[in-house]
Amino acid sequence: MPLKNTNIVSAAHTKFGVLEGVTLREMFSEAVDKVTVNAGIPKKDIQAAFIGSFIPEMLIHQGHTAPLLVDYAGLRGLPATRHEAACASGATALRAGIMAIESRLYDTVLVVGAEKMTSVSTNKATEALAAAADDQFESSIGLTFPGVFALAAVAHMHKYGTTEEDMARVAVKAHKNASTNPLAQFQKEITLEKAMTPRYIAWPLKLYDCSPISDGAAALVLTSNEKAKKYTDLPVKIIGTGQASASMNLCARSDLTTFSASVEASRQAYKMAGLKPKDMDFAVVHDCFTIAEIIASEDIGFFKPGEGAKAVRDGVTALDGDRPINPMGGLKGVGHPVG
């Protein structure tokens, strides 16, 4: 049955990119100000905050981030909880916000994802990001995240004939889609030739196949049906949600060309909403690497397994195509502050 009571009434984010000298708490506060007072929602209406942040412990030696951040944002005393699920941290915070509204414990809540990543060197950030993989069995012996997705890319190339050029086309599309967004980290279109520049990060992934290391914060205000009318005539209703997990240990996965958690989570969301992939106008998926977007477009049922690359090649996933994917530019174009 579709969710009945949860509405998005405001959304905002900061500039994404290398925000020199801007701290996590400052980015968070900016996103909160934009999503509340700047949108006509008084801060005092906010009853709780659910905050996604992946790895501030290693990047800025700061845990216990939720109270710290709401205090700095002028919301001292607010019940505030941090959610950590690597790249899905913000998504798990959103799900907590949904449950908070649906359970009627709260009427109006804030959901924020925030990460400060450029305070450390690329090596240190890569080491921190590797904490999202299985340390005991994989990352401790050198498997970084570009490595994880390079293995997925090789498997997809081997099984379905996907090429490096197909992946490069995802990057070209992302930069094009992001180019008109002044908050995006990358605002310049790139040519296919440039995207194919053989500066390999982890073969077959090249520089332009990788989303950047970014600072940034994004925020939503969720509220109940009764309160939604107070803030907007056009609330965005959340009618379906899903969540699943999988083995983090790649050795325990039977197929590297699909992510079972994405398949299952999207299946749950479709089922709850009472809709099918063909009913969707567009999708926003996780494109930390270009191959991840191709795989996700198959996992969510937009295309059959192995046909995601062809869809990119044929322009089907372009902004003006039949099934746009990441029309705003994705993590690849807009930036990827993990939380």
H or E element in which residue 299 lies: helix 290-299
Mark whether 336 is an active-site residue: yes
Residue 121 found at the interface with a second copy (CB under 8 A): no
Residue 67 engages a second copy in binding (rule: CB under 8 A): yes
Residue pair 110/50 in contact by the 8 Å Cβ criterion: yes
User: What residues numbered 234-253 form the site for a second copy, per CB under 8 A?
Assistant: 243-249, 252
Number of residues that bind a second copy (CB under 8 A): 62
Q: Is 54 among the residues that bind a second copy (CB under 8 A)?
A: yes
Which segment (12-20, 51-59, 156-164, 326-334) binds a second copy by CB under 8 A?
A: 51-59
Distance (Å, rounded) from C-alpha 338 to C-alpha 55? 8
Sole binder of a second copy in the list 11, 74, 79, 126 (CB under 8 A): 79
Sort 187 into a burial class: Cβ within 10 Å, 0-12 / 13-18 / 19+: middle
Q: Is 102 in the site for a second copy (CB under 8 A)?
A: yes
| Binding flags for a second copy, 253-292, as an x/- string (CB under 8 A) | -------xx--xx---------------------------
To a second copy, the closest distance from the beta carbon of 117 in angstroms equals 13
Q: Quick one: 9 or 98, whose CB is closer to a second copy?
A: 98
Q: What phi and psi values does residue 276 have, to the nearest 5 degrees? A: -125, 165
Q: How far is CA 72 from CA 33, 35, 65, 93, in A?
A: 11, 15, 11, 19
The neighbour count for residue 70, using CB atoms within 10 Å, is 26
Q: Active site includes 175? A: no
- For the record, the structure tokens of 118 come out as 């450029």
191: left (phi over 0), alpha (psi -120 to 50) or beta: beta
The whole-angstrom distance between residue 175's C-alpha and the CA centroid of its chain comes to 16
Spatial distance between the Cα atoms of 293 and 291, rounded to a whole number of angstroms: 5
- CB atoms under 10 Å from CB of 32, counted, come to 27
Q: Which stretch in 27-35, 61-69, 168-176, 214-222 sits in contact with a second copy by CB under 8 A?
A: 61-69
Taking the complex as a whole, how short is the minimal distance between the CB of residue 91 and a second copy, in angstroms? 10
Q: Which residues have a Cβ under 8 Å from the Cβ of 140 and sit 6 or more positions away?
A: none
Q: Is 60 in the site for a second copy (CB under 8 A)?
A: yes
Using CB under 8 A as the criterion, what x/- string covers residues 177-206 for binding a second copy? ------------------------------
> Read out DSSP for 146-179?
HHHHHHHHHHHHHHH---HHHHHHHHHHHHHHHT
Q: Cβ 142 to a second copy, closest distance in Å?
A: 13
Q: Name the residue nearer to a second copy (CB basis): 84 or 215.
A: 84
Minimum distance from residue 8 beta carbon to a second copy (Å)? 17
Smallest gap from residue 112 Cβ to a second copy (A):
14
Pick the catalytic residue: 13, 83, 87, 210? 87
**Catalytic (active-site) positions:** 87, 336
Residue numbers of the site for a second copy (CB under 8 A)?
Answer: 23, 25, 48, 54-55, 57-58, 60-68, 70-71, 76-86, 92, 95-96, 98-105, 128, 130-136, 139-140, 243-249, 252, 260-261, 264-265
